[in-house]
Structure 1
């Protein structure tokens, strides 16, 4: 973060940017060094390789120059003596080392130096280069992509654990997982986690656990170590075997400074075995509290719903249509009574009209019937064959005829035939 411009000797504010300076408005040396310091201090730590020149020790600090022989360039380096003791690195004039350092700007002397947090003897640099090349290759194949990361099961039936034959990693994973979820079960494979047999044994253990149908997640754990101790977990064979697993994988190598390639290809990277134990299972206490909150919220929601429905039902019951439901039928009863009266009157009118029509038909029938004609004095005569006599010329004297009158029948003989006079 840059310092705010301070007033110049003339009382004017200093230019904020280098491009704004001029012969009339220059920056003081202190201001420039502060700007350079701000820029340098924003840089992150970096791995650097070079040759040690003039190492010296003062109290708990070690100082030396790191030279690039090919370019004849040198940078000053300082580090804690404990860093060298931890790494077991003995610094001699001319030694080749790889350091992990953050650039520092010493404003008072106007010098750029490196503050080292890790120092390793030569040979590690070549190994780091090979690992970086492998990382780039595997990243190009998509083995580190977020899209291929699988979620860990919420409650695994069985946890497969690959760990050292002796060490704290197994204890840290099992104890912390059991504290959180007492019912968790482990299938443990104890193998070599460093040395020439480590890759083969770790790969075999991972594949064996992957083939076990009851294992829902696999944890590969180790309690940290030096860069050289962890080199097996950056081996291409082991990394590709881990990428081919069908079971979700947790890497718990436990080394913050160096990131083995296994951390990158695993579905979840735990910072330590303890972190892995806490990550692979839920916290039973937290889940019980969450379940209790959910039950309380559900019960509260149900009570509120019932109360709301009860209020709505009470409001409905106070409405006239429900308080006196028979009133709903009153308009229909009146209409039914009116229709009943109308139907009665219509039926009487229909029956009266039908009776009058029937009487009229009966009178017409009587007027047109043969019986009515006979009652008016007419008769029907039939000859011997039973045919109605319409023409007297069809008869002859002494022919037998049959005569029907209104109240009976008469058999007679023709005595004389007289045609009608015109």
Structure 2
């Protein structure tokens, strides 16, 4: 029921606090899960700060020493626990707290099961899709490194990277890598490095540890922050067998911090050897090509056409002269044969020509229609006839003789 108040009829503070305490009291006893951020013992009471495993919120839990010590294993800072508690509101101080009645440590099996459920949920969103992963630069100008304060992981990454490429540069962000504040510190450092335009790649490194120690690197907020980065991120958490969720979302997973340095920075010795090898291969290839071209030129120059060009021209000229002589001889022979044929034909024509007969004293009698008179009977008396001689012709008229013939 809402409390009816106004500026003219307000209620005192004690009434509001009593009502709040009553509303909270009606919640009953609940099981609460969280991570112990702080733990302090004061006399017979133990005060715990229980942090939410995902959101950046916390609540105070107050329990007796008997309840605290009854938990097995004993709760420590950074441990995940489940607390059976009663929400209570202290109206006198206006503070809220949980009164712990039972504390249970979250087992490794339960932690792994919850991480697996979170992994599947994030994978369903596509955060682990291989197509989202970006390629690392061949030689990063500046490497962002997130690691623990003065940690072995930092020394391994820096020492191995400088050994491989002495000119490599780092921007190091030292954060907490274990405990309730580790995930938040790593996210803040990640955002600072991602906003730096000089940083080409970011390495998140930590040494090995238990499942509980590596929980910050499976934090959902951290996973989403890495997925949102514009800079490629390399995960180098723990050892080969450790697989926090950060390994799935990172653009590259390194088995150890040392492996991360080897994967991110090229080895100057190996690269120099590779360059030398490629130069040797290029030189051999060019020299081989030059040798082949030189041999081809020598072979071409050794051919008769190029060795003695004038000799080839002379040979071709000789062939032309020979062909011309053969053509001339062939034409002369053809003309001679044709001349002989013409002479023979002319002789036959002369021999068979009527003019030759006429030259021997014969004449040809033709009628007016040029028909040749072959017998007297073909001529009528008084018919005009033409007598053809070898050189000229004569016109005559036929007359009848006494015996009936014509003359």
**Counterpart residue number, 1:218:** 202
Distance in 2 between the 1:303 and 1:202 partners? 56
Contact 1:250 1:267 in 2 (8 A): yes
Correspondences of 1:369-384 after superposition (within 5 Å):
none
Distance in 2 between the 1:154 and 1:298 partners? 22
Quote how far apart the aligned CAs of 1:334 are. 8.4
Contact 2:145 2:172 in 1 (8 A): yes
**Counterpart residue number, 1:55:** none
Contact 2:304 2:312 in 1 (8 A): no
1:277 aligned to 261, 266, 275, which one?
A: 261
Give the number of aligned pairs: 226
**Counterpart residue number, 1:390:** none
Distance in 2 between the 1:257 and 1:278 partners? 19
Distance in 2 between the 1:332 and 1:271 partners? 80
Distance in 2 between the 1:245 and 1:280 partners? 17
Contact 2:123 2:129 in 1 (8 A): yes
**Counterpart residue number, 1:186:** 170
**Counterpart residue number, 1:311:** 295
Q: What SS is found at the alignment partner of 1:194?
A: coil
Q: What SS is found at the alignment partner of 1:239?
A: helix
Could you tell me which runs of 5 or more consecutive residues in structure 2 were left unpaired when the two chains were aligned: 1-71, 75-103, 322-407
Alpha-carbon RMSD across the aligned residues, in angstroms, is 3.0
Does the alignment pair 1:296 with 2:242? no
Distance in 2 between the 1:238 and 1:197 partners? 12
TM-score (norm 1): 0.49
Contact 1:254 1:270 in 2 (8 A): no
Quote how far apart the aligned CAs of 1:273 are. 0.7
Contact 2:208 2:242 in 1 (8 A): no
Quote how far apart the aligned CAs of 1:225 are. 1.7
Distance in 2 between the 1:203 and 1:325 partners? 84
Distance in 1 between the 2:190 and 2:213 partners? 19
Distance in 2 between the 1:257 and 1:307 partners? 56
Structure (1 or 2) with the larger CA radius of gyration: 2
**Counterpart residue number, 1:157:** 141
Q: What SS is found at the alignment partner of 2:202?
A: strand
Distance in 2 between the 1:328 and 1:204 partners? 88
Contact 1:251 1:266 in 2 (8 A): yes
Does the alignment pair 1:142 with 2:126? yes
Quote how far apart the aligned CAs of 1:260 are. 0.8
Distance in 2 between the 1:141 and 1:163 partners? 28
Contact 1:253 1:271 in 2 (8 A): yes
Distance in 1 between the 2:281 and 2:271 partners? 15
1:159-195 deviations in Å (ceiling 9; x for gaps): 1101112311110000011111111111111111122
1:380-404 deviations in Å (ceiling 9; x for gaps): xxxxxxxxxxxxxxxxxxxxxxxxx
TM-score (norm 2): 0.51
1:89-119 deviations in Å (ceiling 9; x for gaps): 69xxxxxxxxxxxxxxxxxxxxxxxxxxxxx
Distance in 2 between the 1:126 and 1:190 partners? 31
Contact 1:239 1:265 in 2 (8 A): yes
Could you tell me which runs of 5 or more consecutive residues in structure 1 were left unpaired when the two chains were aligned: 1-87, 91-119, 338-422
Q: Identify the range of structure 1 (126-135 vs 311-320) with the bigger mean alpha-carbon deviation.
A: 126-135
**Counterpart residue number, 1:85:** none
Quote how far apart the aligned CAs of 1:222 are. 0.6
1:267-292 deviations in Å (ceiling 9; x for gaps): 11111111111111111111111111
**Counterpart residue number, 1:61:** none
Contact 1:157 1:185 in 2 (8 A): yes
Does the alignment pair 1:249 with 2:219? no
1:109-166 deviations in Å (ceiling 9; x for gaps): xxxxxxxxxxx96444433332111101011112112222222211111111011123
Q: What SS is found at the alignment partner of 2:174?
A: strand
